[in-house]
Structure 1
Amino acid sequence: MSVIDKIFNYSEDYKYKVWKIFGIRISIVKKYQSKKINIYEEIKKHEIISFDIFDTLLIRPYVKPTDLFLHIEKLYKIKGFHKNRIEAEKLARGKYIDCEEITLNQIYEEIDDKYKRFKEIEIELEERILTIHKENKKIYDYALSIGKKIIIVSDMYLPKNVIEKILIKNNYTNYYKLYLSSDLMLTKASGNLYKYVIDDLNVAPSSIMHIGDHFTSDFNNAKLYGIDSVFVEKIIDTFLENNIRAKKLLNENKNNIAVSIMLGLSAFSSLNKNDKNNNYWHNFGFIYGGPAVFAYMNWLKKQIIKDNINEVLFVARDGYSLKKVFDIIKPESVKTHYIYAPRIIYYLITLDFSMRLKYYPIESFEVIKTVIEYFKDKDEYLQKQTPKITSAIEGYKFILSNIAIYKKLAKLEYQNYKEYIEKFNIDKNNIAVVDTCSFFISSQRLISLFLGKENIVGYYWYLLLKENQNYKIKSFQKIKKHLFIEWNLMEFFMTSPEAPIKNVVDSKPLYSIPNEHEKKRMDVYPYVSDGIVEFAEIVKNCFGELELFINYKEVTEWINILACTPTEYDKKYIKNIKHNWSIGNNKYIPLIQRWFIKESGKKYYLFSFIPFLRKEEFVGGEIKYYLFSFIPIIKIKTVENMRKYYLFNIFNILTIK
């Protein structure tokens, strides 16, 4: 490299023009990106419409195409396959350097003998996971509908018969010809495949328009041969470009197939283009709630098969989207129900507050107060004598002093709920109750009063109290290390668009009158739920019964990155959503507290009057120091037992484990 090249260097990639001056990188977006074209109008101008296949007509649900090999390695527990398969392709291309393309057979000639049997498995997985790019399918169908001749032109080592089978499976039919590099041994990358296409069709190059995702092979090289071309960006590139959290998760999880699949599937959200506000919440549910709910329900599916469960009761309101997703992936023989079992009914029936008074005295006041207020109007004596309690102990003493009256009223509540439960006709053997995070498993305790606790297994995301061990319980997340910074987010992803439930009367839920916070949440949640369900549907269509290896670790990390990485765009929507954290449904906080709530800042003064340093402590433990009260100098974050120090709030200068 010359001295001039070291000082000044120019290069281009498919997105940017890049100058390096004295080692400083200066880049600008290429002008073609800002040029808006109407692809449907362009199609009308051409006789022949040509499509690329991979990342254009069809999408792999991974971050990188080679992650398919990593998936095979994990599925079949065959260590080293991913690396060996990539290396075998490099060796084959080096061996057949005089050929423009290689075949899958030639690749597997170079692979280690113990991996040769995976050639057919690789083909089967490609056939299984490749799915429609729905925006480009619309373009394809439009071109057919107006009588255009469709051709498909692709650089790919897979055999032609395999590609044809995959196209048919995804309803890409009625095309005129398929031009495949592994069949013709010519590529778009060299440009020779375009020359072959023009000669074979015996048409003027300008009569063809080619659509593809590779800037050099699909866009530039087509133009070099006189073919009009349209560049369509890969959805994974679009997603990663627009989601700083996804890039962070990916950077921290190299060669993690679960993360690759989570983000590869989440990229499908870039194809959702509906009403702006509704689309935001749909995609919010799809990207963040989708992987979380699917991972939990996939674990549940494996557990109920193992435990021979016949019926699954999803507890309202957290069970709303859980049930929807589980119904997509569950065994056909398993029955599911959405059941109202609010904790307040358990206390109305049992009058047992002992565990709450022991472990959660603050919320006990709300529980006991709610019970006293509920029963107050159901008895003449209580109507006159019930005091306005100021503490849980005071309320509990009043109940005990009038226990005969309360027990009589509790029996009526028992009978009322029994009539509701009996309408489900539940077989009293091998029943599952599904909830989220629980302290006292009150819903399982309530249902056990009628179905017998020996017949019920409770499944939870996470359990907080060991004293529940006399019940059959299992949790998805067992390790405290991977805990959510903002559990409110998880409740938001799972809580139904219903108002808080006061009781069940005549076998129907009796709702509280929703306040403005509940109304806002209820308005947006149907779109969130639709996004969560769509994620599960795409998983089912792409992978069927294949394991994705998405566990609570990956999900927790993903949701925690969301909680710790606010953007102004997200704040605009999130700021209007409040989360209720009290049994009395009267205490609301921001959905993501750390984005909006901070503790009072401490100021340090030089010479007693110059504000030299300001310290801000954010909810969740994040600390920021500002020089002269406004210049950010140090940020301290604690994540999973690690304390990270950032200079100017950006550069990670120190990590202490």
Structure 2
Amino acid sequence: MQTSGYEQATLTAEVVAFDVFDTLITRPFMRPTDLFLFMENEYQAEGFAKARVLAEKLARKEIRQEVNLDEIYSLMDGKYRSLEEKEIELETEFSVADPYAKALYESVLAQGKRVILVSDMYLPESVLRGMLDANNYWGYEKLYLSNAADCNKASGALYRYILGDLGISADRIVMIGDNRKADVDNAVEQGLRAVRWIPLKERYAVSHRKEMAFCRKDRSAGASMLVATDMLMGAVDAEKGYWYDIARRFGGPMAYSFGNYLIRNSSGFDRIIFFSRDGHIPMLAYQELGGDLPVSYVYCSRKLCTAMANLNLTDRDAPYTVLKYLYATGRLADENIASIDDFESARDYFEKNSEAVRKACNEALEGYRSYLENELSGARKVLAVDTTTMRYTSQSLVTGCTDAEITGAYYATTAGSTLKHIVYTDRTGQRLTWSYVNLAEFFFSSQESPLEDVRDGKPVFSSDVPPEEAMRQKVQPSMEEGQLDYIRFASSIFHGRRICYDPDTVDGWLKVLISYEKGNDTERLSGFKWGVDKGHLDYRPLLFRASQLPFALKQKIAGKLK
């Protein structure tokens, strides 16, 4: 945004007057009253948001037009009175400077102009000064507050009060504010010059119509905060490319919510482990957000789980995956395996050589058990984190390898289990979760190649990397940077509060991303392919396409049967 036009308007002024809210300062909410919804949820004060809005309206009608916060709360039910101090605390915490307004403000001060601030507001003057101090707004001469002067900009009376107090002619003052009526028209009527400030929300709305439509549809405090955070971060964040941008904007809220969810639910455990590869970003999120349990990054994969703990001959690709794994790692040295190139041949071989195959699998399991015990370091109650699951394979493997009590922790599950677990978003029973499941795993994944084995306590990665994996590895550093930047930014504006956006809200936000991804561009999500099988041989579109419906339904049915 260019501020030169505003600077030009102030050149001949002696005094420049700034509005405060939605001009110099904004909040991480798209609607001011969404703060009350947040308070209702945060402090479990059912009915507070509606009561707070009604009380302000009633106070303006029955007490005086320019009420203060004490007068508003005096008309509320006694059970809400304690929230007055919380409101003041949150207003101060959540205040954020509009970076462009801040630049204009500092430019005006550098010109040597006298600066005054003018606000129609019910908060105490000391609170507003605290908010301004917190956002480094220094050097203003006076703060004119409607509830202190008992008159407002909305009627024009506050401008007359200011003119009398300053003792200068109106045409020597330029007013800058976002409200067309109160900040511009009424100022002009009193003889001041005025320029309308285009607020950050209005600037964002012009280029983010789908995001604004999402916010209008989802009226929750979480949706308001999610969109406002996107708006605020976009106002200060330099352009860093497509993959950074989508990961920051869409993967970031997922990682931020899941990291906070893990911290909220980690009491009573003595270690937390994160399964490779898509436990990578959740691990970084947990650590960045201040999780305090000892952390282990445990190497595991669908291939290893199938061979060591979840071998099922009725599974479409299980025999093939297991045989190729055993042959590639030297655990089953039969050259006939090298020539097997289809699932049926693999199943026939397995049935004829079942004893040898299972013996090799058990030997692999013993080696993995030793590795895992070293990673757990004697922990007795372990929270085991993975991104998504249908069959709980990693948790099953770990549970069978240790005497420790294992509780699974998942971003999403698509089926139930008797294994003890917690889940951020339960997708059991949802008809089609293809895009949402894939996006979580894609955003949360590490840069590592597919895992081939764990030998002597160390991971062995595939040296044969398909083009789809190579592309993922290429873009992962940018996506990791974007998600961590989001976590840091959100933590700063919410002052370390453990914000977990509602899973349905996050899904709605992902729909915005999906709606942008039309076509089949291989340099974007729209054309990206993702490994859907245990051996990373079958790559299909990351985002759901109608052509994949038969395969998706087959997988869903197979999962339920197992």
- Give the shorter-chain TM-score range: 0.7 to 0.9
Among candidates 525, 533, 543, match of residue 592 of structure 1: 543
Secondary structure in 1 aligned to 2:275? Answer: strand
- In the alignment, residue 262 of structure 2 is paired with which amino acid? L
- Following the alignment from structure 2 to structure 1, what is the Cα–Cα distance between the partners of residues 162 and 453? 70
Name structure 1 gaps, 5 residues minimum. Answer: 1-32, 600-616, 622-657
- In the alignment, residue 291 of structure 1 is paired with which amino acid? P
List aligned pairs for 1:352-367, cutoff 5 A: 354-355=311-312, 357-358=313-314, 361-364=315-318, 366-367=320-321
Percent identity, please. Answer: 25
1:328 aligns with 2:265: no
Displacement of 1:434 in angstroms is 0.4
List aligned pairs for 1:311-460, cutoff 5 A: 311-331=271-291, 333-347=292-306, 350=308, 354-355=311-312, 357-358=313-314, 361-364=315-318, 366-375=320-329, 381-382=333-334, 384-392=335-343, 394-396=345-347, 398=349, 401=353, 404=356, 407=359, 411=363, 415=367, 418=370, 422=374, 424=375, 426-448=377-399, 452=402, 454-460=404-410
Q: Is the 8 A contact 1:290 1:533 kept in 2?
A: yes
Q: Which has the higher contact order (CA 8 A, sep 6+)?
A: 2
Match of 1:90 in 2: 57
Displacement of 1:160 in angstroms is 0.1
Secondary structure in 2 aligned to 1:124? Answer: helix
1:77 aligns with 2:44: yes
Displacement of 1:569 in angstroms is 13
- Following the alignment from structure 2 to structure 1, what is the Cα–Cα distance between the partners of residues 123 and 114? 24
List aligned pairs for 1:8-407, cutoff 5 A: 37=4, 48-95=15-62, 101-144=66-109, 149-198=114-163, 200-201=165-166, 209-224=174-189, 225-235=191-201, 237-254=202-219, 256-275=220-239, 278-305=240-267, 308-331=268-291, 333-347=292-306, 350=308, 354-355=311-312, 357-358=313-314, 361-364=315-318, 366-375=320-329, 381-382=333-334, 384-392=335-343, 394-396=345-347, 398=349, 401=353, 404=356, 407=359
- In the alignment, residue 72 of structure 1 is paired with which amino acid? M
- Following the alignment from structure 1 to structure 2, what is the Cα–Cα distance between the partners of residues 591 and 118? 46
Name structure 2 gaps, 5 residues minimum. Answer: 554-562
Q: Is the 8 A contact 2:325 2:452 kept in 1?
A: no
Residue-pair matches, total: 548
- Following the alignment from structure 2 to structure 1, what is the Cα–Cα distance between the partners of residues 365 and 174? 71
- Following the alignment from structure 2 to structure 1, what is the Cα–Cα distance between the partners of residues 516 and 552? 13
- Following the alignment from structure 1 to structure 2, what is the Cα–Cα distance between the partners of residues 406 and 113? 69
Structure in which a larger fraction of residues adopt strand: 1
Per-residue CA deviation, residues 458-501 of structure 1 (Å, 9 max, x unaligned), is 211333455x53x4333333463556351222222212234333
Displacement of 1:455 in angstroms is 2.8
Per-residue CA deviation, residues 511-547 of structure 1 (Å, 9 max, x unaligned), is 5454443344334443433343344334433444656
Match of 2:442 in 1: 492
Match of 1:474 in 2: 422
Provide closer, same or farther for how the CA distance between residues 200 and 323 of structure 1 changes in structure 2, counting only shifts above 3 A: farther
Q: Is the 8 A contact 1:369 1:395 kept in 2?
A: yes
Displacement of 1:158 in angstroms is 0.5
Provide closer, same or farther for how the CA distance between residues 66 and 620 of structure 1 changes in structure 2, counting only shifts above 3 A: farther
1:556 aligns with 2:516: no
Q: Is the 8 A contact 1:369 1:389 kept in 2?
A: no
- In the alignment, residue 195 of structure 2 is paired with which amino acid? S
Provide closer, same or farther for how the CA distance between residues 86 and 413 of structure 1 changes in structure 2, counting only shifts above 3 A: closer
- In the alignment, residue 81 of structure 1 is paired with which amino acid? F
Provide closer, same or farther for how the CA distance between residues 287 and 385 of structure 1 changes in structure 2, counting only shifts above 3 A: closer
Secondary structure in 2 aligned to 1:428? Answer: coil
- Following the alignment from structure 1 to structure 2, what is the Cα–Cα distance between the partners of residues 373 and 553? 44
Among candidates 549, 564, 581, match of residue 532 of structure 2: 581
Q: Is the 8 A contact 1:437 1:461 kept in 2?
A: yes
Q: Is the 8 A contact 1:340 1:509 kept in 2?
A: no
Q: Is the 8 A contact 1:261 1:548 kept in 2?
A: no
Q: TM-score, normalised by structure 2?
A: 0.82
Q: Is the 8 A contact 1:209 1:230 kept in 2?
A: no
Q: Is the 8 A contact 2:276 2:300 kept in 1?
A: yes
Displacement of 1:177 in angstroms is 2.5
- Following the alignment from structure 1 to structure 2, what is the Cα–Cα distance between the partners of residues 500 and 45? 66
List aligned pairs for 1:494-533, cutoff 5 A: 494-504=444-454, 507=458, 510-533=461-484
Q: Is the 8 A contact 1:150 1:175 kept in 2?
A: yes
- In the alignment, residue 89 of structure 1 is paired with which amino acid? E
Displacement of 1:161 in angstroms is 0.8
Q: Is the 8 A contact 2:427 2:433 kept in 1?
A: no
Per-residue CA deviation, residues 532-581 of structure 1 (Å, 9 max, x unaligned), is 33443344334446565633233234334643575689998433433232
Among candidates 391, 409, 412, match of residue 462 of structure 1: 412
Per-residue CA deviation, residues 152-178 of structure 1 (Å, 9 max, x unaligned), is 222211010111122223333343322
Secondary structure in 1 aligned to 2:316? Answer: helix
Provide closer, same or farther for how the CA distance between residues 428 and 392 of structure 1 changes in structure 2, counting only shifts above 3 A: farther
- Following the alignment from structure 2 to structure 1, what is the Cα–Cα distance between the partners of residues 7 and 317? 60
Displacement of 1:453 in angstroms is 5.1
Provide closer, same or farther for how the CA distance between residues 479 and 413 of structure 1 changes in structure 2, counting only shifts above 3 A: closer
Q: Is the 8 A contact 1:92 1:110 kept in 2?
A: yes
Report the more deviating stretch, 118-127 or 48-57. 48-57
- Following the alignment from structure 2 to structure 1, what is the Cα–Cα distance between the partners of residues 224 and 336? 63
Provide closer, same or farther for how the CA distance between residues 253 and 228 of structure 1 changes in structure 2, counting only shifts above 3 A: closer
Alignment RMSD = 3.9
Match of 2:560 in 1: none
- In the alignment, residue 185 of structure 1 is paired with which amino acid? D
Provide closer, same or farther for how the CA distance between residues 371 and 261 of structure 1 changes in structure 2, counting only shifts above 3 A: same
Per-residue CA deviation, residues 102-161 of structure 1 (Å, 9 max, x unaligned), is 222232333344433432232222223223334433444455566554432222110101
- Following the alignment from structure 1 to structure 2, what is the Cα–Cα distance between the partners of residues 449 and 266? 43
Report the more deviating stretch, 46-55 or 123-132. 46-55
Secondary structure in 2 aligned to 1:304? Answer: coil
